[in-house]
Amino acid sequence: MLLCYSALSPFCRKVRMVLDWKGVAVEIFDSCDVRKYPAYNPRAEIPVLVDEGLTVVNSADILAYVDRKLPTLELYPRDAAAYAVVRAWEREADTLVDAIVTDAAIWKWADLPPPPEGLIDAARRDLAPVLDRMESALVSSDFIAGPLSVADFALYPHIGA
């Protein structure tokens, strides 16, 4: 397997953590320069997984593929209701949490002028309910939605940022 990857991408980190957890041997194509990416994905998005001639893009699709190909250490619960909860957390991490954290964090590491007035406060306000729900879920469990799942792998790179 080949993984087109950048450590700057929480979506790449999510995929790489899962591959490591599942013990998957993968060759890393590590680049932040889209001019260097192989032409596996016409939109030049990462991560991209190439496996036996099949190209899979989008972190959620990559993880669904890997989970079906290597079903040991399952990422997604078999129970329909538990699956829906796990996917909801993954989707929220990949959309809402990513947008909030990216908007706030970029002002810390990128060479940009000061953030627009109120942006950081808005990010804190928007992230607070997500963090409250996470805290509530973690009171009775070590993981966000029952056993370790894709929900945990999806949230960790964003919350760690």
Best CA proximity match to 59, nearest among 105, 4, 107, 106: 4
Residues 92 and 148 in one domain: yes
Do the domain assignments include residue 118?
A: yes
**48 and 104 part of one domain:** no
Q: Is residue 74 part of a domain?
A: no
CA distances from 7 to 14, 47, 77, 100, 157 (A): 10, 10, 28, 19, 10
Domain containing residue 149: 80-160
Cα-trace Rg, the chain: 17
Residue 103 Cα to chain centre, angstroms: 16
Looking at the domain assignment, is residue 24 inside a domain?
yes
> At 22, is the secondary structure helix, strand, or coil?
helix
Closest Cα to residue 40, out of 65, 58, 18?
58
Say if CB 106 and CB 140 are below 8 A apart: no
Tell me: do 99 and 53 sit in the same domain: no
The per-residue pLDDT for range 67-106, each reduced to its tens digit, is 999 998 999 999 999 999 999 999 999 999 999 998 888 8
Residue 107 sits in the same domain as residue 139? yes
Q: Quick: pLDDT tens for 30-81.
A: 765 556 555 556 667 889 898 998 989 899 999 999 999 999 899 999 999 9
